[in-house]
Structure 1
Amino acid sequence: MATGRGRLLQQHWRGLQALRLPPGGVGAAPGPAGFSLRQCAGRGRLRAEATAERSVSLDSMPSEVLLKIFSNLDAVTLLCTGCVNRRFYHLANDNFLWIRIYSAAFSPKRSNWKVNWVEKTAGSVNVLSVKDKEAGYWKKEYIAKQRARVRAALAQVLKPVNPYTGLPVKTKEAVRPRWHSLIAKYNLSNLTESTMIGGDRLLRIFCLCPGLLVGLWKREEELAFVMANLHFHQLVEKSTLGSATVPYELPPHTPLLDDNPEYGLHGYQLHIDMHSGGIFYLCGTFRNLFTKKGYIEDGYVKIVVISFKNNTEHLPLIGKVGLSWRTDIFDGCIKSCSIMDITLLDEYGKPFWCFSSPVCMRALGPSDGPSFLGQTSCVDYVDSEGKVHVELVWIKETEEYFIVSLVLYLRVAKINHWFGTAY
C-alpha cells in the first residue's frame, strides 16, 4: 500500500506524463481548443497585421475631419499645429477657425445676454466676411490685436516714471510674467586675462560686455556661476519683443533738435549707483551738467561731474566695497569690486547713455593732493558709446573711500548721431 507521500509522487508523475511534449517541441505542444502554440502564434501575427492595416495616421485623414479636430484647439496650440507640415499650415489658417477664436477673445463682457454672443457673432461673421477674405486673414487680425493689447497693458504698467532716472518704476513687474527673448550673445572664449576683473581664494571673475559676470573656480577652471546685469532702459522691449532666433532691434533713432549748437552740451543729468548684494555704496544724482563747444579729447566730449579741485563735490562710499557671490555650496565677497549703473539723460530728459556692468578698483599709488593723503584707486568703464573714469582716495582714519573725481567721456560719433549734426 502506498503511503501519502507515495500517492503524491504518483499523481505528480501522471501529470507530467499527460503534459509530455510531442516530438515537435514547444511549437507543436497541444494548446487550447486543439490548436498548437505555433498556430496560436500565427494567428497573433495575422491579428497584428490586420490591426496595422486598420490604423490611420492623422495626416491621412480627410480635411473636413482635421478641421473639426482643429476647431477644438486654442490659439497657441493651433499656431503650433500649423508648423507641422505644409498641409497642416494651410488648414490651420482657415478663417472659420480663427473667427471663432477672435470672437471669443475680443467679445464684450455681457453676462446677462440670453444668446451666446461668441456663437452668434462667429456665425454671422462667417457668412458675411469669412469667404471674401484671403486665408489667414483672421489669424493675422487676432495676432495684431493681441499684440496691441499687450503693448497697451505694458504701457499702462510702465507709465509711472522715476523722477531721478527718467526710467519706468515698475519695470520688474512688467518683465516678470512675460516670455523672455534673447537680449545678447556672448563668446566664452573671451574669458582671458584682459577681461578678468578680480578674484578671491576660490575663484576668478570675468566681465563680458554688456554686463555679464562669469565666475570660474581657480583649481579646475570650471564654471562656478554667471550673473547678468541688465539696465532698466528698454528692458521690457528687449525681454518681450523678439525671440531667440530674431532678437529685438531698437527702433531707428530720430535726431533731436539742438536748440543752441554753439553752446555745446548743457542741461544733462546723471544718475549713478554702485552696489552689490542689495547694498548700495553710492547713489547720487547730478544735474545741469554741461560742456563747451569744441571741448574734445581723442574723439570724446568730456563732462566733468565731480572735480578733483573742488573739495565740496567729493563724496564718500558707504560701507566696505566688495562684490558678493553665492553658489549652492560656497559664498564669498571679492574686495574692491561692485556693480556700476549709469543713467545719463539729455537736456530733454531722454536716456542718452545707459549701462549696468561689474567694475573693479585699480590701485594707482599714494595721493599727492593738498587736502587729503591716502592710497588712490580708479574705476574705469568703456563701451562703444563712451567711457567713465572715477578716482577714489582711501582715508585710513575713517576707513572709507572718497570719490575725488568723476568724469564722463562721450563719443563724438554718438553725439552727432543723437542730434543729426556735426559736433
Structure 2
Amino acid sequence: MYTGYERSVYPSGQSRRTGVVAMATGRGQAFASFRMGLEKVQQANSSTGPHVKRKMSSDSTKIKKRGTSRGNPRKPESSGPTVKFRNPVSRFQNQFERVPPEILLKILSYLDAASLYCIGFANKQFHELANNNAMWYRMFSNECDKMKKWKPKQIDEVAERVNAASIQEKPEGYWKRLYFRKMAGYNENKWKRRLKAISPYTGLPSQTEQVLRDLHVTWEITVTDKRGRENTFQQSHAYFSDSSVTVCWSNSSWPPFYQLTMLQLHGVKRVALDCPTVNKPGWRSLIAKHDLNDIREKGRIIGSDKLVNLLHLAPGLTIGIWRGNWLIAFVMVNLHFHKLVERSLLGSTICPYTEGLPEDRLPFDDVDPEYGLHGYTVHILLHNTVKHIMSGHFSQLFCKADHIRDGSIQLNAIYKHDLSQHTPLYGKISLPWKTEGLDGNVPNCCMMTMTVLDEAQNPFWCVSTPVTMLLSKLGSSSYDYEGENYLIKHQGSEGRVKMELVWLEEQEQFFLTNLVVYIATAKVNKHFGRAY
C-alpha cells in the first residue's frame, strides 16, 4: 500500500508512480474481494438448493442440462444463481418515505432558512414539509427578536398574538412568504430616511437610484398565455435617468404575442441567503398588471425600422414586434421615480402598493379665488435607452380662471415668441434597441418623463411614456427659424402635453420652441377641493 513513508523516501516523480501503482493495486484487491464474496454466495446457494445438481464433464467445457418429461416441461436451468442489485437511490427513497412526517419535521427544524428553502426543491414530499407554517413562523419570530430595528409596531397585526392553532390555519407557505418579505425590507426605516432628501431640480428624492442599486432591486415580467401557462423573464438591462428608469427585456424565448392574455410587472428583492440555486428567495411586489385582451386593440404602432415595429400598449409599456410575424423581439417599460422604491418593495405578489393620503396635503384656501391655479413647477426630460436628449425645469407656472378650456388648465412652460426660453436638443431623436442577436434604432421615437409639482412642491402629476415626433402639417408662424417643424404629443387620462420643435439644417440640431402642459380640471378640483 501507498504510505507517507514511501513519499518521503522516493523522489517526487517516483513517488507519484509508486502511488499510482499502489492505488491500482488497492482497487484490484477490492474488486477481487468483491468477486470472491459473490462466488461464495453462489456456492452457498448451489450447495443448499435440494433440487440443484451441477454435473461437469471431464473436459469441463459443457454443462449437462436436465431433460424434460412430456407431462411436466421444465425451463432449462441457468448456469448459476442470478444476483440482483437494487438501485441505491430508489432503495433510499423507499426507506425515507417510511419515516413518519413528525420525525422529518423535527429534523428539518434544525436547518437554517437557506437550507430549508433549497431542500423544498428536492421532491413533492420535501416541498410540502419545507413550507410548514410552524417552522417558518419560528424563524420569523427569531429574526424579529434578533433585529432590534424591527419594532413591534412594524410587524403585521396578523403576526401578533398568534397561537399554534392560528399559525397552522394560514395558507401553506404564508409565514415563509412573510419571512422573506421582512428579510427583503427589514431596513425599511433606513432607506425611507435616505429618500427624504429631495432634489431641488426634479422635486423627487435625490437618492432613488442609489437606494434601488444598494437594495439590489430588479424587475421581472410574467406573461400568461391562453392555456394559463406562465413564463417569467428577468430584466436584461436598465437605464437610469434623473427621474425615471427604462427597463429592457431582450430575451429570445418569448411566446407568440397573439397567444398572450396577461402581462404582469413585479419588483423583486432577493434575500442575501447562501443558496446554490440560481433564483434566490426573495419578495415580489406587483407594480402593474395588464390584460392584453383589452388593450391589444387599443395599442398603436408609434415607430418602426427595417426589423421591428414599436407597439405602445399601456402607459410606459412598449413591445417590439418583429415585422411580418408578430413575434416579440423585446419589451421596454418606463418607471417614474415617484414612489418607485415603495412600489417595488412594499406590494405583494397579487396586489400593488397603494399610497395613503399625503400627510402634507395643502389646506383649503377659500380666500384666494384662483387657489390651485398657480405655483406649479414642471420638470421634463426627453431620453432613450442610452442617453438623455433634453432636460428642462420650469417654475411658477399658472393659469387664469378664465383661461380654462375644454376641461383642462393650461400651463405654458415655453412660449413660442420668447427666444430666450427655446431649448436645444442633444442629437437626433431616436430609440435604440437590442436583442440577444440583433440591434437597431427606431427614428423619431424617444421616452418622455415629466413631473408636475404643486404649490407646495409635492409631486402632482407624474408620467413616463414613449412619444413619437411627427412632421407638423400646419407649419410654423415664427420667422426666427427656417427649417422643418415637428410635433410631439402625449394624451393621458390626467392631462396632455404638446411640444413643438424645429430642425435647423445648418446646425444639424433640434430646438424646442413651444411647450404646453394641460392638466385635467377634475384632477385639480379633487386635489385642491375646488369646483372650476
- Once residues 329 and 313 of structure 2 are traced to their aligned partners in structure 1, the CA distance between those partners, rounded to angstroms, is 15
**Number of the residue aligned with 2:237:** none
Rounded to whole Å, the distance in 1 between the matches of 2:131 and 2:438 is 52
Whether the 8 Å CA contact 2:362–2:456 is kept in 1: the answer is no
Deviation at 1:146, TM superposition (A): 5.8
User: Where do residues 13-28 of structure 1 align in structure 2 (5 Å cutoff)?
Assistant: 14=59, 16-18=61-63, 28=77
Out of 192, 196, 204, the residue aligned to residue 167 of structure 1 is: 204
Contact 2:303 2:310 in 1 (8 A): yes
Q: 2:503 aligns with which of 383, 394, 419?
A: 394
* 1:92 aligned partner: 135
CA deviation string 1:252-302 (max 9, x = no partner): 456532446412422211111111233222111111111123532221111
Paired with 2:436 and 2:362, the residues of 1 have a C-alpha distance of 49
Aligned amino acid, residue 501 of structure 2:
L
Provide the residue aligned with 2:189 in structure 1.
152
CA contact (8 A) 2:381 2:392 kept: yes
**Contact 2:380-2:391 at 8 Å conserved across structures:** yes
1:314 Cα deviation after fit:
1.9
**Residue matched to 1:324:** 432
| Superposition TM-score, scaled by structure 2 size | 0.61
Compute the displacement of 1:362 (Å).
Answer: 1.3
Asked if 1:71 is matched to 2:109, the reply is yes
Query: 2:480 aligns to what SS in structure 1?
Result: coil
The answer (yes or no) to whether the contact 1:360–1:379 under 8 Å persists in 2 is yes
Partner of 1:273: 381
Letter in structure 1 aligned against 2:509: E
Distance 1:329 1:107, change over 3 A: closer
Given the superposition, is the C-alpha separation of residues 22 and 233 from structure 1 closer, same or farther in structure 2, using an over 3 Å criterion? farther
2: CA distance, partners of 1:358 / 1:380: 10
Separation in 2, partners of 1:335, 1:170: 32
Residues in 2 aligned to 1:150 and 1:170: alpha-carbon distance in whole angstroms: 16
The change in CA–CA distance for 1:67 and 1:420 in structure 2 (over 3 A counts) is farther
Change in CA separation of 1:364 and 1:146 when aligned onto 2, cut-off 3 Å: same
Q: 1:26 to 1:337 in 2, by over 3 A?
A: farther
- Following TM superposition, by how much is the alpha carbon of 1:367 offset from its aligned partner in structure 2, in angstroms? 2.1
1:360 to 462, 468, 478: 468
CA distance in 1, matches of 2:180, 2:435: 42
Aligned position for 1:308: 416
> Which residue identity does 2:356 align to in structure 1?
P
What are the residue-to-residue correspondences of 1:109-188 with 2, within 5 Å? 134-135=163-164, 149-176=186-213, 177-178=216-217, 179=269, 180-188=284-292
Which of 435, 458, 462 does residue 350 from structure 1 map onto? 458
Partner Cα distance (1:211, 1:172) in 2: 18
Is the CA contact (8 Å cut-off) linking 1:175 and 1:240 kept in structure 2? Answer: no
Aligned residue identity for 1:18: I
Residue of structure 1 equivalent to 2:303: 198
Q: Do structure 1's residue 403 and structure 2's residue 512 form an aligned pair?
A: yes
Q: Distance in 2 between matches of 1:49 and 1:87?
A: 21
List per-residue Cα deviations over 1:288-347 (Å, max 9, x = no partner): 111123532221111111122323222222212211112223222222111111011111
Secondary structure of 1:378's partner?
strand
Q: Contact between 2:136 and 2:179, CA under 8 Å: does it hold in 1?
A: no
RMSD after superposition:
4.1
> Amino acid of the residue matched to residue 256 of structure 1?
L
- How many residues are paired up? 376
2: CA distance between counterparts of 1:384 and 1:291? 20
TM-aligned CA deviation for residue 418 of structure 1? 1.5
Tell me if 1:418 matches 2:527. Answer: yes
Aligned to 1:334: 442
Equivalent in 346, 359, 363 of residue 241 of structure 1 = 346
Task: Decide whether the 8 Å contact of 1:175 with 1:239 is kept in 2.
Answer: no
Question: In structure 1, how many angstroms separate the alpha carbons of the residues matched to 2:414 and 2:421?
Answer: 6
1:60-86 superposed Cα distances (whole Å, 9 cap, x missing partner): 433xx45633432335777998x9769
- In structure 1, runs of 5+ residues without a counterpart are 1-10, 109-131
Question: Would the aligned equivalents of 1:256 and 1:420 in 2 still touch at CA under 8 Å?
Answer: no
Deviations 1:334-381 (A, max 9, x none): 221111110111111111111111111111233232333332211111
Decide whether aligned partners of structure 1 residues 75 and 13 sit closer, same or farther in structure 2, where only a CA change above 3 A counts: same
Comparing 325-334 with 142-151, greater Cα deviation is found at 142-151
User: What residue identity is the alignment partner of 2:443?
Assistant: K
The whole-number CA distance in structure 1 between the counterparts of 2:91 and 2:189 is 58
Query: 1:379 aligned to 488, 491, 495, which one?
Result: 488
Amino acid at match of 2:488: V
Query: Residues 252-291 of structure 1: matches in 2 within 5 Å?
Result: 252=357, 255-259=361-365, 261-264=368-371, 265-291=373-399
Q: CA deviation at 1:387?
A: 0.7
Structure 2 letter corresponding to 1:61: P
Contact 2:347/2:353 (<8 A) preserved: yes
Any gaps of 5 or more consecutive residues in structure 2? 1-55, 121-125, 150-160, 168-174, 218-268, 270-283
1:85-143 superposed Cα distances (whole Å, 9 cap, x missing partner)? 69975643776x6654544x2379xxxxxxxxxxxxxxxxxxxxxxx963378x79989
Identity of aligned residues (%): 34
> Any idea what SS the aligned residue of 1:361 has?
strand
Shift of the alpha carbon at 1:246?
2.2
Q: Quick check: 2:66–2:76 contact (8 Å CA) kept in 1?
A: no
Conservation of the 8 A alpha-carbon contact between 2:116 and 2:130: no
Normalising by the residue count of structure 1, what TM-score does the alignment of the two structures yield?
0.74
Task: Identify if the C-alpha distance between structure 1 residues 55 and 93 changes in structure 2 by more than 3 Å, giving closer, same or farther.
Answer: closer
- Answer with 231-240 or 181-190: which moved more: 181-190
Task: Tell me the distance in 2 between the aligned counterparts of 1:51 and 1:280.
Answer: 61
Question: Closer, same or farther in 2 for the Cα pair 1:212/1:87, shift >3 Å?
Answer: closer
SS in 1 for 2:210: helix
Aligned equivalents of 1:240, 1:305: Cα separation in 2: 35
Distance 2:204 2:488 in 1: 25
Give, in whole Å, the separation in 1 of the partners of 2:341 and 2:489.
Answer: 28
User: SS at the partner of 1:175?
Assistant: helix
Q: Deviations over 1:149-173 (max 9, x none)?
A: 4211221332432221121222233
1:4 counterpart residue number:
none
